[in-house]
Structure 1
Amino acid sequence: MIDWAMYLLMGAAMGTLGGVFGIGGGLIAIPALVLMFGMDQQLAQGTTLVMVVPNVMLSLWRYHQRTRIFMRHALPLAAAGFVFAWIGSIIAVGLDPDAMRIGFAIFMLVLATYVYLQMYLRKPPPSTELRHPWPWLMVLGSGSGILGGLFGLGASVLATPILSTVFGATQVVAQGLSLALAVPSTGVTLVTYALHNHIDWHIGIPMALGGLLSVSWGVRLAHALPEKSLRTWFCLFLVLCAALMIFKA
C-alpha cells in the first residue's frame, strides 16, 4: 500500500510537470524510471505508456469540447501515425536496452536544442488553415508515429512544433491535431509493449491515476509562469537527464 501511494504521488508529479512544460509527462517519467528504479529502457517506456495513454485521451476529450478539430486534417495524421507507431514499437521491443537508452538520451538532447532555438527563431504568422496539403500530414504522422513507437512517447512531442512552424497552424490547432494523432499511436504502442511483457502494471496504474488528477493543475500553472523561463528550465532538465542516462552504469 505504501508503494502504491508512492507511485500515485510520482504520477501526480509527472502529470504536473508534463502540464507545466506542455510536452507530456512521459518524456519526464521515462528517465525517472530508468535512473531511480533501475528499469531497462523498454520496461520504462512501456510502464510510462500506461500513464500516457489515458492522459492523452482525457486531453483530447477536453480539447474537443472547446475547439473544433477538422477531420480532413486529423484522419491522415492519425492513420499514418497508427501504422508507423506499430512498426516502431515492434522494432523497439527487439532492440538492445542499452542502445535504446543511449538513443533516447540523444533524442532528448536534440529535442532540448530544438525547443530552445524556437524561442529565438522568427515564425511566420499563424493561420487556421494549414500551409501544406493532406499528403504532407501523412508524412508528418509517419515520422511522429515511428518516433513514438520507438521511444514510447506521445507523437505530439514532434508533431506540435512542426504543425505550428512548418504548417503555420495556430498553437491551439497544432495541439488539437497532435492529440488526435497521439491517441491511436500511443494506444497501439502500449498494446505492443504489453504483448512483449515490457510493462510493470503495479507501477504504471497508480502513476496513470496520479497523472490524471494533476495534469490540469500543471497546465494552469504553466499559464501563470513566463514562457521563456519554462522553456529554459525544461531544456536544462532534458540535458541533465540525457547526461545521466548516457553515463548510467
Structure 2
Amino acid sequence: MDLFAIGLNVLLGLMLGTLGGLFGIGGGLIAIPVVGVLFGLDQQVAQGTALVMVVPNVLLAIWRYNQRNRIELRHAFALGVTSFCFAIAGAAVAVSLDPGRMRIAFIGFLLVLAAYTLLRAILRPQPGGTELRYSWPWLSALGAGAGALGGLFGVGGAVLATPILTSVFGASQVVAQGLSLSLAAPSTAVTLFTYASHGQVNWALGLPLAVGGLLSISLGVKLAHALPERILRALFSMFLVLSAILLGMKV
C-alpha cells in the first residue's frame, strides 16, 4: 500500500471516527459495510478489519463521554463482564459461518433496530434521564445479549445496548451511548483477537483507519452532546438504514 492510499484510508477513518463518536459506537457499524463495499472484503474480514479501528476508538470515546456524563463504575462493570464472556461465544460462531448469510442477517438486524429507534423518536420524543430505572444487576442480562450479538456481527454490542438503555432503562440518548461504550470495550477487544487468530483481519487497511478515527472521534462526542435528544435519535435511526443499504450493495 503506497502513501497516497494510506492517506486516503486515514481520511476515511476521520469520517468514520466522527460518526462513531456522534453515535457512541466507535465507528464499527458504518466501517463494516464501507470497507466491505469499497475494498471487496468478505463479511468476516470486513468485521475483523473494522475492529482494528473500533477498539482504540471505543477507549477514547469512553473517556470523552465520561468527561461530560460520568459513567457509573458498577454499571460499566455489570455490562462489561457479561459482554466479554458472551462476545467470545459470538465471535467463535461468526468465523465459521457463511459470509453471504452473515451479511443478510446483519442487514435485517440493522433495519429492525432502525425502525425501533425511529418509532421511539416519533412516539416518545421526551428525553431520558441520567438515572436508570432498574438496578445495576439487570444490566448483566443486557450485557450478555449485546455481547453475543456484538461478537457475532463485530459491532461491539453498543448498537443494540443503546436503544435498550433508552427505552427500557430510561437513560437519555447521550448517557446510553456513553454507557454502551463501556459494554463495547471488552467485547470488541476479545472479538478482534478471535478474528485475528483466524486470519480475518486486514491490518494494512485497519491501522490507517484507526489513526483517522482517533483524530476525529472527540469531535463526534462533542456533536452528540450539542444536538437535541429527538434529533440525535432520528439521526441514529437514519445512520442504521444507511449502513444496511451500503451492506446490501454486496449481497
Structure-2-length-normalised TM-score? 0.88
- Where does residue 97 of structure 1 map in the other structure? 99
* 1:118 Cα offset (Å): 2.0
1:130 and 2:132 correspond: yes
- Where does residue 154 of structure 2 map in the other structure? 152
More deviation, 181-190/202-211 = 181-190
- 1:15 is aligned, of 5, 14, 17, to 17
- Where does residue 82 of structure 1 map in the other structure? 84
**Distance in 2 separating the partners of 1:210 and 1:61:** 18
* 1:106 Cα offset (Å): 1.1
| Contact 2:29–2:243 under 8 Å retained in 1 | no
- Where does residue 214 of structure 1 map in the other structure? 216
* 1:235 Cα offset (Å): 3.9
| Contact 1:45–1:152 under 8 Å retained in 2 | yes
- 1:194 is aligned, of 193, 196, 206, to 196
* 1:244 Cα offset (Å): 5.0
| Contact 2:25–2:177 under 8 Å retained in 1 | no
* 1:22 Cα offset (Å): 4.5
Say what the alpha-carbon RMSD is for the aligned residues: 2.4
* 1:172 Cα offset (Å): 4.4
Q: Percent identity?
A: 60
* 1:17 Cα offset (Å): 2.6
| Contact 1:124–1:168 under 8 Å retained in 2 | no
More deviation, 16-25/138-147 = 16-25
Unaligned runs of 5+ in 2: none
* 1:165 Cα offset (Å): 1.8
SS in 1 for 2:70: coil
1:41 and 2:43 correspond: yes
- Where does residue 8 of structure 2 map in the other structure? 6
- 1:61 is aligned, of 60, 63, 77, to 63
Residues 206-238 of structure 1: CA distance to partner in whole angstroms, max 9, x if unpaired?
Answer: 000001111222333455667666655654454
- Where does residue 186 of structure 2 map in the other structure? 184
More deviation, 6-15/125-134 = 125-134
| Contact 2:121–2:230 under 8 Å retained in 1 | yes
Report the number of matched residues: 249
**Distance in 2 separating the partners of 1:238 and 1:52:** 17
More deviation, 224-233/212-221 = 224-233
> Are the structure 2 counterparts of residues 228 and 67 from structure 1 closer, same or farther at C-alpha, using a change threshold of 3 Å?
closer
Residues 144-197 of structure 1: CA distance to partner in whole angstroms, max 9, x if unpaired?
Answer: 101110111132211122112211234444233212211111111111111111
